[in-house]
Structure 1
């Protein structure tokens, strides 16, 4: 039997890819205008039962950025209840949580924890004293690695591998944890701070800001680490004050190569954040469709999987561009051809050949596996391909030929043959595929098959 499923073109809301909410969850009201909040405990909104995001795409990821002072308010006090609640709410809203613990921001209300400030003293003028994103404490002070790094280690002990934790930002210095001045760190300080993450998060993906060559290279020498940047869309926001310098033209293309992260996407996710908001692009900087399309194309060239638009509205006139963009972010699996024998024996092998295409720009980093289901009105059998790594399904063509064993006790008769990418525990479909045939519970109908003696 030869099956050639028909491709579909709709936007698919899949795990670990696409837009994310910021300090919010699916169903919450968006930020007003071009403003956003960050760094503070989440102000939870009452859900009215509708998970739709008005003027914003559906998402599978919620992003929370919180300052160290709020989750470690006393020297030996850890507000795990705050993380537990955010993870629980995310799961209830059909999302996973991506989190950054920023060591500090700007201003006294965004400082390091009070107990740590009392310990190290009032000085806020250190080697990296940039007026925008300065250091407010000395990262070379061994107490910084001990206490901030120690907090990260304790967080890893508690949450590494949590099913609702999407990823953790590797954040070590600079306002908002953006890494400014990381190139000035001594190697010993750099290693202690980076190791706090790479030693502690080995199951949950790490995503490091694009900081400097030494820091990003060192992180990747420990374990595969993804990367992120947070000013996607800067084509000239501050060009007049910075001799024409921009993130999109002058920094990202060069620094991606210098930090040797251009191939990191093959093992770990790449996640971007908007510069300003979409309304800033349109209303403050006069971007039109040509500029937006250029920005989107560049981000896809860098193999992005997810995007933080700061829960700010998507202008209606760009909605079609955004939808096309989402289709290409991360992974998008199309089954092109599938063959199988029309009859199989109980306790025998169901052998199949298949040709897939990943039409996205990255693999799926989740631990999902292919499964075949035989189902009739009265009986069902699910057979999984367990020795499998979905990260190997890179963009382009995929030839996947395999076989599964038919249960000995499966009654004889005719069955529907269906396929899905499922989780390893419950064997439930987790990924929407880009072809026709989806049935009510998320499996995809391929044809019929007979079980014989």
Structure 2
């Protein structure tokens, strides 16, 4: 008899749970997509030797390699004739970082980091070994050490010193390692350019380096920066493939937009036609974008495109579309203004550059009990050309006057490549969660603070950066 009673009790309990599950309505929400230009971490335009709110370079010129000339900040982060940015790019010559052998002037980077952070930006850094003019040379102490009279005859016009002299890899590499010891993993360092040789660190004729020299210079970066992203210039097959062998490695190029800059003198050569498409394949970096960021730099400036090259809208569209085909995430326009007639093209470009997340559908039950699992299903679309590379988290927030609770999911949003992405999950409602109706919000949040970091391409954004999408009731079910 007791066995029969226990059986009947268990059956009633099962039926009660079944009734509870089937009686509920499934709420399905389809958020409204927006067409706004979104300013988000790790993507979009950059400022160059400047920060949000600074005046741009005048005319069609720019500065690089020298310490930043800081402008007085009036509190307005607007960039006139230039998109808002989340990245500041700082390029500086070795001579300023190590003015005396073994003594590093990290204040230059520290101040740039502080300024970037205060303007809502992270900092991307390249330390270039030298430029092309006397005031852009290697450090004085190194020049005196290796060839004070500059008697070495370079086989490459853009080499200032002999990279095969073992002291070059030793001392330049030592400086890179010291930078890694200080800044690797710094939350406000967006990335480090892997620059090893040539004027401005652009890798001119890197294919002429011996295997030993190339590997020593590359390893100075790969062994020193294991947390902060590295982005290697697109140099030559052996160098880029060796760098990529150490793990996820992004890449960059410095002459996006060259359709005919030097065609008359170079037998019709143009970077956009005759170098980049071929080298992307030959260097083995065609699919690097799936796990590491791609960052490009303008050839000249927008004003040079317009005034000197005579580019029209079709030329600009072609350049932008090629960069999207290559999966660009960020762009250095050298803090030069965007011509008024091209601003709409830039806006459309920005909407596709990097990642752009749209929550298409999310479904969930109309109520849940304290201590139960709250299950939801979601369909997302990444309408950009690249994933997000930052280790942010997908979170759901329940809030009312009595309680606010943020639930962190285990979604790996870095795997959300362009196109459709499905994420279904269940989160545990605390036993002590007060009953009542709760507003439901969703967001992509910082790993430490759990505060929203990413703007979504949907309606419903709150002042705090969350996106409201519905209501759920928490109630006792007996």
Superposed counterparts of 1:163-182, under 5 Å: 163-182=187-206
1:22 aligned onto 2:48:
yes
Which of the residues 199, 210, 213 maps onto 1:186?
210
Superposed CA RMSD in Å reads 1.0
CA contact (8 A) 2:402 2:434 kept: no
1:40/1:70 contact within 8 Å kept: yes
Looking at structure 1, the residues matched to 449 and 366 of structure 2 have their Cα atoms a distance apart, in angstroms, of 28
Q: Which is worse superposed, 408-417 or 90-99? A: 408-417
The answer as to 2:235 corresponding to 1:199 is no
Structure 1 residues 65 and 283: CA distance shift in structure 2, 3 A: same
The structural deviation recorded for 1:128 is: 5.0
Instruction: Identify the match of residue 453 of structure 2 among 423, 427, 430.
Output: 430
- In the alignment, which residue of structure 1 is the partner of 2:252? 228
1:76 aligns with 2:102: yes
Distance 1:202 1:48 in 2: 37
Q: What's 1:100 paired with?
A: 126
For residues 159 and 46 of structure 1, the distance between their equivalents in structure 2, rounded to whole angstroms, comes to 26
C-alpha contact (below 8 Å) 2:440/2:470 kept by paired residues: yes
- Distance in 1 (CA, whole Å) between partners of 2:150 and 2:414 is 44
Aligned to 2:317: 293
1:264-343 mapped onto 2 (5 Å cutoff) = 264-343=288-367
TM superposition score normalised by structure 1 = 0.98
Change (3 A) 1:360 1:51: same
Q: Which moved more, 1:74-83 or 1:287-296?
A: 74-83
Shift in Å, 1:407? 2.1
Match of 1:241 among 258, 262, 265: 265
Give CA deviations for 1:162-204 in whole Å, capped at 9, x if unaligned: 1100000000000000000110111111110000101111111
The answer to whether the aligner puts 1:63 opposite 2:63 as a matched pair is no
State the secondary structure of the residue aligned to 1:239: coil
The DSSP-based 3-state class of the residue aligned with 2:360 is strand
Q: Say which SS state the counterpart of residue 312 (structure 1) adopts.
A: coil
Q: Secondary structure at the match of 1:401?
A: strand
1:375 aligns with 2:399: yes
The alpha-carbon deviation at position 246 of structure 1 amounts to 0.4
Larger of the two Rg values belongs to structure: 2
Aligned to 2:183: 159
Normalised to the residue count of structure 2, the TM-score between the two structures is 0.93
Are the equivalent residues in 2 in contact too, given 1:123–1:137 (CA < 8 A)?
no
1:406–1:181 CA distance, 2 compared to 1 (3 A) = same
Which among 224, 242, 245 is matched to residue 218 of structure 1?
242
CA drift at 1:64: 0.4
Is contact 2:460–2:468 with CA below 8 Å preserved after alignment? yes
The Cα of 1:126 is off from its aligned counterpart by 5.5
Q: 1:354 aligns with which of 358, 362, 378?
A: 378
Pick the aligned partner of 1:122 from 138, 145, 148.
Answer: 148
**Residues 346 and 408 in structure 1, CA contact (< 8 A), matched pair in contact too:** yes
Task: Write out per-residue CA displacement over residues 136-158 of structure 1, whole angstroms, 9 at most, x where no aligned residue.
Answer: 11111111111110111111111
Structure 2 residues without counterparts, runs of 5 or longer: 1-26
CA distance in 1, matches of 2:140, 2:433: 65
Task: Output the CA distance in 2 between the equivalents of 1:389 and 1:186.
Answer: 40
Aligned to 2:281: 257
Alignment of 1:36-47 (within 5 A): 36-47=62-73
Q: Secondary structure at the match of 2:431?
A: coil
Describe the SS at the equivalent of 1:337. Answer: strand
Give the deviation of 1:125 after TM superposition: 6.5
Higher mean C-alpha displacement, 401-410 vs 113-122 = 401-410
Structure-2 change in CA distance of 1:388 and 1:4 (3 Å): closer
Tell me, yes or no, if structure 1 residue 391 matches structure 2 residue 414.
Answer: yes
1:411 to 429, 434, 440: 434
Can you list the C-alpha shifts for 1:373-421, whole angstroms capped at 9, x where unaligned? Answer: 0001232000001x34322010000011111122222211110011000
Is 1:400 equivalent to 2:438 in the alignment?
no
Report whether the alignment pairs 1:50 with 2:76: yes
Deviations for 1:53-104, whole angstroms, at most 9, x for unmatched residues?
A: 0000000000000000001111121111111111111010000000000011
SS in 2 for 1:143: helix
User: 2:116 maps to which residue?
Assistant: 90
